[in-house]
Amino acid sequence: MNIPSTATARPGLAAESITKRFGPVQALRDVTLRFPPGQVTALMGENGAGKSTLLRILTGDHQPTAGRIRLDGQVIDLDSPTDARRAGIRIIPQEPEIIPHVSVAENVYAGSLPRRPGRRLDRAELRRRITADLERLGFDKVLDPDLLGSELTAAQRQLVEIMRALTGDTAPRAIAFDEPTSSLSDHEVDALFALIGRLRDAGIAVIYVSHRMKEIFRLADRIAVLRDGTVAGTVDARATSEGELVRLMVGRDLSSLFARQHVAGDRVVLEVDGLSTDDVHDISLQVRAGEVVALAGLIGAGRSELALALAGDTPLRSGTVRIDGDRIRLRGPADAIRAGIGLAPEERKAQALFLQRTIRDNTSLVSLGRLRRWRFVDRNQEKALAQEYADRLRVRAPSIEAEVRTLSGGNQQKVVLARWLARKPALLILDEPTRGVDIGAKAEIYQIIADLAREGTAILVISSELPEVLGLADRILVMQNGRITGRLDHTEATEEAILALAMADDLTPDLPHETATAPRAETDPAPGGTR
């Protein structure tokens, strides 16, 4: 890929003493950061630390209350995104803004389409331009210029945004990537990182925003950390550690994230015997009051499919499910909710939240039955309920009337949890509860899980992060190909043991699942009460 070099002995982009207030809220306070050309500067911090606000100031969406922006030593005024683009400052947003009903070519040059006299679109010039730019950037094999925006994959949407950033009359001098890998496969991530490496080599200042530690250490030259709207520190990526970054972000050590007591009681809340669906086979397990049981395994192992079956979203082919000893029929989600089962699904935006509705609406959704007076919902009770759990879970929002789409990922996840806490389920299933949230929000979610366990809720957690599995769980059930291949107590579980079970060969059908290779594997009591 041929990217024109802008490498010179120049200072690059800098924010100096930036302060930003939104009414009484101070989002940034005296922030000074440099983004040198030819380097990748990772920008880290909890949701709400000020990262997005700083990016919007650097790209002209917001103007600072105080402070200045310099480019190569000169103060520049960025009164709009157009000003920033003319200056060579671009951003690849976390959620690409794609026009669904027009082509890739028209999406790339939106706002600067070639026109004939009379303002008609010059399609020949558009074809010439998109063909040349696709070849120059190396995207001609992966991006069809005639595809409609609505037909693009997540990776292709990202490529369109990158093309917007790298085309135009002004050569890019600084490019910010905001959580660019959240929807990409491993192969697509590798391709993106190769592109960022070429941008760095061309002398462009790269700002990279991510919560993913592995990405940061793989990619960044420097790491700048914001906390509560101020600069907590700037470090050399090669001379720091994950623990040090966590301390800068949240002000405490990584080891404190999983500080919880194991408080499981004797009462069996969930009892599953021989459950099978089209995707999972012969599942038997128990979860006790106050116990956190984790489902581990590789992608496609059947963990989420088991969760959906227990939540009534998938029909059962065979087997029984009992809650507190009572057998329940799962004909749909309503049966699961009535039985005391709650599910916070993996894809919270697509499967759990009404993004255009308020925190109040989303929190009260499964509790409306007890909020009714005659045929109408008691709005005062509904507001009190939503406010109680927003306060308890420390949902950061202007009020419970804020639309959920305006919240950070961590706060959206808290709203999902608030919905089920308000319902007081006997069993709470959490599918990837910390995916896409920052380290501070993770710590708060871990504390919520610990509090629920202490109050006697039975919890089934699905997580692909092995440190999270090891830190949260009393017991770990490992799945492969829709079956449980092993069971480990928290005292004996290691990442190596979990991976050995997750990648074990298919078991002989007439052998017990617990014979899979691992350190001494604990088995659940059989439904009749014997081990």
**DSSP H or E segment with residue 153:** none
Residue 373 and residue 512 in one domain: no
Tell me: pLDDT of 7 over 70.
no
For the beta carbon of residue 335, count every other beta carbon within 10 angstroms. Answer: 15
Residue 361 and residue 282 in one domain: no
Q: Angle 10-12-18 (CA atoms, 0-180°, nearest 5)?
A: 140
Going by C-alpha positions, the residue among 316, 326, 302 that lies closest to residue 426 is 326
- Residue written as tokens 């802008």? 6
Lowest-confidence segment of 46-55, 133-142, 233-242, 367-376 by average pLDDT:
367-376
- Is residue 94 within 8 Å of residue 180, measured between CB atoms? yes
For residue 518, is it within any domain?
Answer: yes
Domain boundary, last residue among 193, 221, 256 = 256
* Section 152-174 average pLDDT: 83
Domain boundary, last residue among 366, 391, 422 = 422
For residue 4, is it within any domain?
Answer: no
Residue 298 and residue 409 in one domain: no
For residue 2, is it within any domain?
Answer: no
- Is residue 160 within 8 Å of residue 152, measured between CB atoms? yes
- Residue written as tokens 């405490």? 252
Residue 54 and residue 119 in one domain: no
Residue 314 and residue 412 in one domain: no
- Is residue 278 within 8 Å of residue 460, measured between CB atoms? no
Strand partners, 358: 403
What does the alpha-carbon distance between residue 53 and residue 11 come to, in Å, rounded to a whole number? 23
CATH code of the domain in which 192 resides: 3.40.50.300
More confident residue, 400 or 262: 400
For residue 166, is it within any domain?
Answer: no
Tell me: pLDDT of 166 over 70.
yes
Tell me: pLDDT of 371 over 90.
no
Residue 295 and residue 364 in one domain: no
Read off the tokens for 444. Answer: 């708060």
Residue 334 and residue 272 in one domain: yes
Residue 286 and residue 179 in one domain: no
- Is residue 328 within 8 Å of residue 348, measured between CB atoms? no
Domain boundary, last residue among 210, 227, 256 = 256
* Section 299-319 average pLDDT: 92
For residue 22, is it within any domain?
Answer: yes
Read off the tokens for 248. Answer: 């800068």
- Residue written as tokens 């995707």? 279
Tell me: pLDDT of 423 over 80.
yes
How confident is residue 516, by pLDDT bands cut at 50, 70 and 90?
A: very low
**DSSP H or E segment with residue 348:** helix 348-351
Residue 405 and residue 481 in one domain: no
Q: How many domains does the chain have?
A: 4
pLDDT at 250: 74
Residue 326 and residue 365 in one domain: no
Residue 145 and residue 292 in one domain: no
Residue 382 and residue 490 in one domain: no
- Is residue 424 within 8 Å of residue 369, measured between CB atoms? no
For residue 5, is it within any domain?
Answer: no
For residue 231, is it within any domain?
Answer: yes
Q: What is the span of the domain harbouring residue 403? A: 357-422
For residue 156, is it within any domain?
Answer: no
